[in-house]
Amino acid sequence: MSDFSGSEEKFESVFSAWFGTVAYGGDFYLSEAPLVSASSELSDRLISALSSSQNIRSVSSFKSVLQKKKPDYRKQAKEAGLADSDAEYAAALREIMIQTVRKQLSASITEDKKVISAVEALDDLNETVNHLTERLTEWYGAYYPELNLPAEAYVRFVSEIPESASQSLMGAPATREDLLLLQSFADDILSLYERKAAVEFFIETKMKETAPNLSQIAGVVLGARLLSMAGGLKNLAAMPSGSVQVMGAEKAMVKHLRSNAPSPKHGLIFSHPSLNTAPFRLRGKIARSFSAAVSLAARTDYYSGALNPKIESGLNDKISRIKQAALQKGAEK
Amino acid sequence: MTDFLKPYAGGVYEGRARGKFQLYTKNAAPGFSVYGEKTMSDDNGTEYRSWDPKRSKLGALYQKKLRVPLASASRVLYLGAANGTTVSHVSDILAEGGGIVYAVEFSERPMRDLVMLAEKRNNIIPIFSDASRPELYFPIVEPVDLIFQDVAQANQAEIACRNAAYFLRDGGHLILSIKARSVDVAKNPKKIFTEEIKTLEKNADASFKILKTIDLAPFHTDHMGVIAVKNLKE
């Protein structure tokens, strides 16, 4: 088969159109035998030819020509015997584009997109689990008010030995029927706790694979949330770190832009211990360094993929310097 | 139930639903409702889909009684196709006269719905690409009669001009929905609209003569609909 991307020497005047190679010499014309045969191979070629930087450059160079003349693909395709009617032209183009887009879509679900789905599922799971656990404590509490355990242990207790409710002095007397219902309810919640752990494990392994630097700086869950909010690793890498800093504080940001409200110091990143344990006065400064490190990490992950421990040590140095400076300033006063 | 329908504009019909004015298009894929919209059939068994102006900027333009430059034989470039809610109605209109719509969308989630819509209708060409980079899909799209643009990006007018340079034939039309909130959340919408209009009128890529601008309230807040025609090259 002939080369779909066009000949090298006539680069400025040739580009790949969806049905073959089009050239320009005063007018646009079909320069190479068209390749339409609705095969899956053709859509593969189309994807790579259309996105090749050479083709893009070539097309861009026509911009001024297009003011006067535009290529008539329909006419060219008909003359080449690819389509006899407008309907046939549309049918051929539609078929190949549907195939092309299907392939592009399946390739667009990259590893970071999977992490995003998982972290969004994790948030839903957290909410549901907390809600149901609260309901169970309320409900079983009527039978055994003295029982005081942390959430997951409480659920496990009810699922295993609900009969111990009969030891309670304050609680309502429990029938076998009541307890069976509560026990199966607790079983269900417990399986959600297990699911949650599985999702967390998935996020952790996937994050360490696809975004090792981001995971190291922000931690896996916060890192995944940042990815989710930015819409992917590519987007997060392309984002200015000032945006990363206030991501998740949009409401405050808009308020700041519209009126003379103070700008938000941090958004999502506040959930990181280096921020939420920092002294109030230093949080803005630390947030700036932290988000700069997050950006750097995301960019390293996107463009190189290898772990660079210098990012973390650099950030730690910066934070300790900020704290040191504040201490000195305090001492001077 | 609705009573009879009468033609409203090319390919668009008006009727009444629960006593209220309601627009319809003739369903090009009978039996399928695209986004949960109500359908109704006339005495001949032809199916019509109701068109909600609150969910579609183009629908709002029709409902506001504007002369929309969309004919059933038009070749249309639709930028920001999203799930295909509006595209499906455009496809209905075009199905009556053999027109074709090139639907460009950049986000994968809505694109999934759009491909499935294109599979059911023979006049939608789906393109998974960035509307601000027309050189990427220039090899696919032929010169068109109309560009409809509804993208939520900051440089909306500029994107329209760039696409017009590549695809819009001389004397072709542009329908643009400007979302002030996407340009700048803090600025006064009116100011934004004036600036965007200025870009349309004086742009190096393609310049337009503004035919009509209209506020899309109450259907869409802080949105302006613009209908313009591409200036002929002398």
Q: Looking at chain A, which residue has its C-alpha nearest residue B134? A: A60
CATH of the domain at B20: 3.30.200
Looking at the predicted structure, is the pLDDT value of residue B20 above 60?
yes
CA distance to partner chain A, nearest, from residue B182 (Å): 13
Tokens of B38: 């109500």
A174 or B12: which carries more pLDDT confidence? B12
Tokens of A14: 């040739």
Looking at the predicted structure, is the pLDDT value of residue A41 above 80?
no
Same domain? B17 vs B106: no
What pLDDT is stored for residue A11 in this prediction? 41
**Does residue B10 form part of some domain?**
yes
What pLDDT is stored for residue A35 in this prediction? 61
Same domain? B45 vs B65: no
What pLDDT is stored for residue A1 in this prediction? 36
Tokens of B198: 């200025």
Looking at the predicted structure, is the pLDDT value of residue A15 above 60?
yes
Same domain? B157 vs B85: yes
Cross-chain residue pair A93–B125, CB shorter than 8 Å: yes
What pLDDT is stored for residue B54 in this prediction? 96
> What residues contact A243, with CB distance under 8 A and at least 6 apart?
none
Same domain? B197 vs B123: yes
Cross-chain residue pair B140–A97, CB shorter than 8 Å: yes
d(CA A49, CA A295): 32
The pLDDT-based confidence of A36 (bands split at 50, 70, 90) is low
Tokens of A21: 């190679």
d(CA B234, CA B219): 39
The pLDDT-based confidence of A12 (bands split at 50, 70, 90) is low
Contacting residues of A for B115, CB less than 8 Å apart: 98, 101-102, 105
Furthest C-alpha separation in chain B: 54
How do residues A275-332 score in pLDDT, each as one tens digit? 999 999 999 999 999 999 999 999 999 999 999 999 999 999 999 999 999 999 888 8
- Segment A21-41 mean pLDDT: 74
Among partner residues B108, B128, B135, which is closest to A60 by beta-carbon distance?
B135
Residue B96 belongs to what domain range? 57-230
What type of residue sits at position A46?
A: L
Same domain? B182 vs B144: yes
Looking at the predicted structure, is the pLDDT value of residue B167 above 70?
yes
- The pair phi, psi for residue A163, each rounded to 5°, is -60, -20
Please, what sign has the CA dihedral across residues A58, B164, A74, A87?
positive
Tokens of A156: 């496990």
d(CA B27, CA B12): 11
What pLDDT is stored for residue A290 in this prediction? 97
How do residues A105-135 score in pLDDT, each as one tens digit? 999 989 999 999 999 999 999 999 999 999 9
Same domain? B91 vs B169: yes
How do residues A82-94 score in pLDDT, each as one tens digit? 888 999 999 989 9
A71 touches chain B (CB under 8 A): yes
Same domain? B29 vs B131: no
Same domain? B47 vs B117: no
- Segment A203-212 mean pLDDT: 96
A38 touches chain B (CB under 8 A): no
- Segment B227-231 mean pLDDT: 93
Asked if the peptide bond before residue B134 counts as cis, ω within 30 degrees of 0, the response is no
Contacting residues of A for B233, CB less than 8 Å apart: 67-68
The secondary structure element, H or E, covering residue A192 is: helix A176-210
Using the structure block, give the residue that is written with the tokens 């950030």: A315
Rg (C-alpha) for chain A, rounded Å, is: 30
Model confidence, pTM: 0.85
Alpha helix stretches (DSSP H) within B100-231: 108-120, 134-137, 156-167, 180-183, 189-201
A333 touches chain B (CB under 8 A): no
A 10 A CB-CB count for A111 gives 13
How do residues B97-131 score in pLDDT, each as one tens digit? 999 999 999 999 999 999 999 999 999 999 999 99
CATH of the domain at B122: 3.40.50.150
**Does residue B62 form part of some domain?**
yes
Among partner residues B126, B135, B233, which is closest to A68 by beta-carbon distance?
B233
A12 or B194: which carries more pLDDT confidence? B194
All domains of chain A in start order, with CATH: 11-108 (3.30.420), 111-205 (1.10.287.4070), 211-332 (1.10.246.90)
A70 touches chain B (CB under 8 A): yes
B230 or A33: which carries more pLDDT confidence? B230
Among partner residues B118, B125, B165, which is closest to A63 by beta-carbon distance?
B165
**Does residue B151 form part of some domain?**
yes
Same domain? B72 vs B141: yes
Same domain? B213 vs B191: yes
Share of chain A above pLDDT 90, in %: 66
Which string of b and e fits A84-102 if b means at least 16 CB within 10 Å?
Answer: eeeeebbebbbbbbbbbbb
Cross-chain residue pair A90–B123, CB shorter than 8 Å: yes
Q: By the 8 A CB rule, do B50 and B73 touch?
A: no
A215 touches chain B (CB under 8 A): no
**Does residue B1 form part of some domain?**
no
The pLDDT-based confidence of B1 (bands split at 50, 70, 90) is very low
The pLDDT-based confidence of A30 (bands split at 50, 70, 90) is confident
The pLDDT-based confidence of A62 (bands split at 50, 70, 90) is confident
Share of chain A above pLDDT 70, in %: 94
| Nearest C-alpha neighbor of B144 from the set B203, B83, B99, B98 | B99
Say which range, A49-63, A171-185, B112-126, B145-159, has the weakest mean pLDDT. Answer: A49-63
What pLDDT is stored for residue A2 in this prediction? 40
The number of domains in chain B is 2
What pLDDT is stored for residue A5 in this prediction? 45
Looking at the predicted structure, is the pLDDT value of residue A77 above 90?
no
Average pLDDT, chain B: 93
Question: What ipTM score was computed for the predicted complex, to two decimals?
Answer: 0.92
Same domain? B98 vs B170: yes
Same domain? B23 vs B63: no
Using the structure block, give the residue that is written with the tokens 């629908």: B59
